[in-house]
Structures are given as structure tokens and as C-alpha cells.
Amino acid sequence: MHRNIRTVDDVLKLMDGLFAPEADRWTAGAGDWWDAFYADRDRPVPFFAAKPDENLASYADRGLLTPGRALDLGCGPGRNALYLASLGFEVDAVDISPAAVAWAEERAREAGADIRFRCGDAFALTEAGPSGPYDLIADSGCFHHLPPHRRVSYLALLERALAPGGHLALTAFAAGAEGSGSELSDADFYRASGLQGGLAYTPESLRRIFSDLTEVEVRRMRDEPADSAYFGEPFLWTALFRKDA
């Protein structure tokens, strides 16, 4: 019998283990799950296309973002990282999947973009790899794949890595939308021992979770046609929050 809990990190790691690896997409074995997901690059997955989120382009067009240092959380094949670099951002990008990072690096080389990619746990950025402060943290699809207790880690990352005056640009599953994530309560995720494909959020829940930040905009993502230069699916929320000085 082991009695190993001493710190908050010990508690978080114990709770990670409550999720069955085959049902979870973030805890132990998640890199393997996502590697399999990214293995076939020709699959008809909308966000495999090399085009950025429409909300990021909207923020840039409206002057809501000023180029500086940016971190792309859960960068996948690097589509948003490439876009931010094209705007003049100095970009760090991290993903848990080696296959996704390899694909993103290929795209960056083809585009001649200087982006620092890292494969690993985004919450361990203070231990190894790139670190803040960042003027922008962009997250398109990472947050809604985290188990509820890891919001603690996510908020801690924002606290230490987001610069005063910096922004969080978030894209997450929308509750009540077809094709979106699960609307189980936080407690029920632990009873089910899995994330059920991801967590769906309401605008009110996002505002509560990120209440230490100032809301700039929360809206449904625009539905972009297949021939658009931007990615957009209406089963997602987009949100822009600012960390005030």
C-alpha cells in the first residue's frame, strides 16, 4: 500500500490515473492515441487543412492582436502557428503528439517559417523547453480535451506564462451544438472514467473559468466553406480574453 500524495501535483497525477487510457486523449498514452489520429494525413479532417482559425484572422484584422511572442498550445499540424508567424509573431508551439509536431515542422520548413516546436506536456514548460512571458497564447482544441482537474494546471500556465496585457485566444466545443463534445457534469466524467470525446462548454462556464481575465469577445465560430482561406466550424466557441496589468 502506497501513501504518496504530498503536493497538489501529486493529487493531479493521481486524478489523471482515474481515466482509462483507451478512453482519454490527454493522460498516459495520449501521445500514441494522437499519433494514430494524425497517421493518415489525407483523412477528411477539417483542421488538417493548412489554414488558420477564422477568429484569429478576425482578431488580427481588427487590430486586437499586436505581434509579439506567441505560444500555440496543442499546435497539431501547425496551421495556426504558421499563420501567427506570418503576422510577425515569434512563435513557440507545443503538442503531445510526435506525429503532429513532425508534420508541423515539415510545413514550417516548406513555408520558410522560423517556429520553435516542442513535443511534450504543455504544462511542463517551466521545466524544459520554451517559456513565457507570451503576448498571445492560442489554443484551438487543446482545452476541451483536458480532464476537469487539469483546468488547475491550465490556469497556472496562464498565470505564469501570459504577459500582462497579453491575450488568450481559445477555441472550444460548444454545448448544445451537433458534433460537439460531451455535456456531462465534471463529477460524471470521473464516474465514466473517460472524456467522452471532449468537454463541451457554455459561454457562462468559460467566463467563470477565466474570470481572472478580461473578456474581449466570446462568440460562436463562423461556418467557413471548404474553399475559404480560414477554418471555421459552428460547433465551436471562440473566445478572446486579456490579462490586465
pLDDT of residue 23: 45
pLDDT of residue 195: 79
Q: Is residue 3 part of a domain?
A: no
Q: Is residue 2 part of a domain?
A: no
Report the alpha-carbon distance of residue 41 to residue 175 in Å, rounded: 28
Give the CATH number for residue 24: 3.40.50.150
| Predicted confidence (pLDDT) per residue in 65-107, tens digit | 999 999 999 999 999 999 999 999 999 999 989 999 999 999 9
Structural domain count, the chain: 1
For residues 58 and 65, is the Cβ–Cβ distance under 8 A?
no
In this model, does residue 160 exceed pLDDT 70?
yes
Report the alpha-carbon distance of residue 238 to residue 173 in Å, rounded: 9
| Predicted confidence (pLDDT) per residue in 11-60, tens digit | 888 888 776 554 455 555 566 778 888 888 888 878 888 999 999 999 99
Predicted confidence band of residue 185 (pLDDT cuts 50, 70, 90)? very high
In this model, does residue 175 exceed pLDDT 80?
yes
In this model, does residue 139 exceed pLDDT 80?
yes
Q: Is residue 208 part of a domain?
A: yes
Question: What Cα–Cα distance (Å) separates residue 207 from each residue in 49, 65, 150?
Answer: 30, 20, 17
Q: Is residue 1 part of a domain?
A: no
Q: Is residue 34 part of a domain?
A: yes
Residue type, 230: Y
**Structural domain of 135:** 8-41+51-242
The structure's pTM equals 0.91
